[in-house]
Amino acid sequence: MKKRTQVGIIGAGPAGLLLSLLLAKEGYDSLVLESRSREEVESTIRAGVLEQGTIELMTELGLDERMNREGVVHHGIELRFDGESHRIPLTDLTGHAIMLYPQHEVLKDFIAARLSQGGSILFNVKDVQLSDISSDQPMIRFTHDHEQHELQCDFIAGCDGYHGVSRSAIPNALQAVYTRTYPFGWLGILMQAPPSAHELIYAYSERGFSLVSTRSPELQRMYVQCDPQDNIANWSDAMILEELQLRLATKDNWQLRVGPIIQKSILAMRSFVIEPMQYGRLFLAGDAAHIVPPTGAKGLNLAVADVRHLARALTAFYKKQQTDLLEAYTATCLRRVWRAEHFSWWMTSMLHRFPDDDVFQQRIQLAQLAYTVRSRAAATSLAENYVGLPFDW
Ligand code: APR
Ligand code: PHB
């Protein structure tokens, strides 16, 4: 079957869904194609730290009702090392805060909003293929409900994440890929327990990194640094709890509140950027174009910033036949992307144990941590990156 839309969007993650909502607000048509089922998209556990700009954009779109009710505003984070906790007062230092609201809840709100506008999201699509992207009528071929479709578009947005197909439509000879694979992963758990702390705790210890985050008053999210090749079956619940307790221990005997672990998995850690983020009428956004390790909580927020630029550039094209914002898309996005790449790499390097490090390396990390919490300038630098620089920075 042949179909037509203004912007064909591949992927119903934060990038693809938000782009469809931003375009709809300006009166432009899009079709979102997603390979997974709606249930899977709405239940996959990911991070949930929303920067100030992300909160404001959701508010502008009228998507803040449940977020304001169920999300929790945090005005600080804790850095813990040498058995002591140090608060980075994000709001005092920057005037901004962050919101803890899980990514899959954001996705539920985006999907419900788009469908209630009469927008189209096709779930369970297969065999997505892009063609004619250097022409002004690019095409997406795909299978849905056992039927083959051809979607003719003015533009294609590749919002299909790190494992998607869009990126490979950019000719190899024109792509530059920059990457770092870290020699550790994160073992993430969901635990049924009340929160152990009011704010997120990023902890450095001789045994490795750990992070205390939260999902709801009854459900906590925590991570411990682990071998990325490790099998989750090697980690009993008791081992995970013991490791958390050892890594988070303080001189004043801080206590972790514990309960049943209801989910556990190991995530790899990498940094990745492809340049350019655009070729012909194909624009990549979010994880399709860049990955950051989760230490800075930037992944979702970078995806939001990309599609905000893209929606503005497409609006300028449709309203005023202006192409300068589209042409500047890669450069505009990459300024923020590389800032976030640096911040995430820096947080990761400061807080993790590396397999080949020695006492010198540990002293250097501790010196950096001490400087970060003791110097107002250094703490402010962490804080302004953590709450997110302005979109037009
Ligand atoms: N065809 C259609 N959809 C696809 C295809 C494909 N070939 N390949 C992948 N997808 C879908 C995935 O199933 C997923 O739902 O694209 C979506 C991409 O979403 P994300 O991976 O969430 O990427 P993005 O929207 O860029 O958001 C980035 O989300 O996953 C987190 O850590 C990530 O926080 C970051 C943020
Ligand atoms: C999470 O809640 O999953 C989370 C929070 C902060 C991070 C990473 C993940 O830096």
| Catalytic-labelled residue, pool 294, 309, 329, 352 | 294
| DSSP 8-class letter at 277 | S
Structure tokens at 158: 């590749």
Ligand in nearest proximity to the CA of 47: 2
Q: Which residues contact 368 (CB under 8 A, 6 or more apart)?
A: 350
For residue 40, pLDDT over 90 is answered with: yes
Token pair of 201 as six digits: 């705790």
Residue 158 phi/psi, 5-degree rounding, is -85, 95
Give DSSP secondary structure letters for 86-152.
Answer: EEE-HHHHHS--EEE--HHHHHHHHHHHHHHTT-EEE-S-EEEEEE-TTSSS-EEEEEETTEEEEEE
pLDDT of amino acid 171: 96
Is the whole model's pTM more than 0.85, yes or no? Answer: yes
How is residue 120 written in tokens?
Answer: 């189209």
d(CA 190, CA 219): 7
* Local confidence band at 328 (pLDDT 50, 70, 90 cut-offs): very high
The answer to whether 137 touches 153, Cβ cutoff 8 Å, is yes
Residue 339, pLDDT above cutoff 90: yes
Q: Which of 200, 222, 382 to mutate to test the pocket of ligand 2 (most atoms within 8 A of CB)?
A: 200
Ligand 1 shell residues, CB under 6 Å = 10-16, 33-36, 41, 46-47, 103, 125, 128, 159-161, 163-165, 286-288, 299-300, 303
Which phi and psi angles does 160 have, rounded to 5°? -100, 25
- Asked if 163 is an active-site residue, the reply is no
**Catalytic member of 14, 74, 182, 290:** 74
Nearest ligand 2 atom to alpha carbon 188: 3
Main-chain dihedrals φ then ψ at residue 314, nearest 5 degrees: -70, -40
Options 101, 182, 202, 279, the catalytic residue = 202
Instruction: Output the CA–CA distances (angstroms, integers) from residue 331 to 168, 277, 327, in the order listed.
Output: 20, 9, 8
188: which strand partners?
223, 265
Would you call the peptide bond into 260 cis, given omega within 30 degrees of 0 as the criterion?
no
Nearest CA to ligand 1 atom 36: 300
Q: With contact defined as beta carbons under 8 Å apart, do 222 and 241 qualify?
A: no
Q: Which two tokens stand for residue 223?
A: 């991570």
Pocket test for ligand 1, best of 21, 35, 156 (most atoms within 8 A of CB): 35
- Residue pair 256/211 in contact (Cβ under 8 Å)? The answer is no
* Local confidence band at 393 (pLDDT 50, 70, 90 cut-offs): confident
Average pLDDT, stretch 374-392?
97
Structure tokens belonging to residue 335: 């300024």
Residues in contact with 162: Cβ distance below 8 Å, sequence separation at least 6, in sequence order: 272, 287, 288, 291
Distance 162 CA to ligand 1 centre (A): 7
For ligand 2, atom 9, the nearest C-alpha belongs to: 47
Per residue in 167-198, is it b (16+ CB within 10 Å) or e — as a string? bebbeeeeeeeeeeebebbbbbbbbebebbbe
Query: What atom in ligand 2 is closest to the CA of residue 297?
Result: 10
Annotated catalytic residue 371: no
- Residue 224's pLDDT band (cuts 50, 70, 90): very high
Average pLDDT over residues 148-167: 98
Share of the chain above pLDDT 90, in %: 98
Q: Which ligand is nearest to the CA of 100?
A: 2
Q: Which candidate in 96, 298, 309, 352 is catalytic?
A: 298
Task: Please compute the mean of the pLDDT values over residues 273-296 and round it to a whole number.
Answer: 98
Q: Sorting pLDDT into bands at 50, 70 and 90, what band is 286?
A: very high
45 pLDDT exceeds 90?
A: no
How far, in Å, is the centroid of ligand 1 from the Cα of 198?
30
Using alpha carbons only, give the angle 277, 385, 67 rounded to the nearest 5 degrees.
85
Instruction: Let me know if 279 is a catalytic residue.
Output: no
List the helix and strand counts (H, then E) for the chain.
Answer: 12, 21
Name the phi and psi angles at 47, rounded to 5. Answer: -70, -175
Q: What φ, ψ does residue 61 adopt, rounded to 5°? A: -85, 0
Average pLDDT over every residue of 4-11: 98
- The mean of the pLDDT values for the chain is 97
With a pLDDT cut of 70, the percent of the chain lying above it is 100
**Measuring CA to CA, which residue among 77, 34, 27, 300 is closest to residue 198?**
77
Q: What is the mean pLDDT of residues 173-198?
A: 97
The atom number, within ligand 2, closest to the CA of 45 reads 3
Cβ(213) – ligand 2 distance below 6 Å? yes
Select from 98, 104, 211 the residue to mutate for testing ligand 2; criterion: most ligand atoms less than 8 Å from CB: 211
Per-residue pLDDT band for 5 (boundaries 50, 70, 90) equals very high
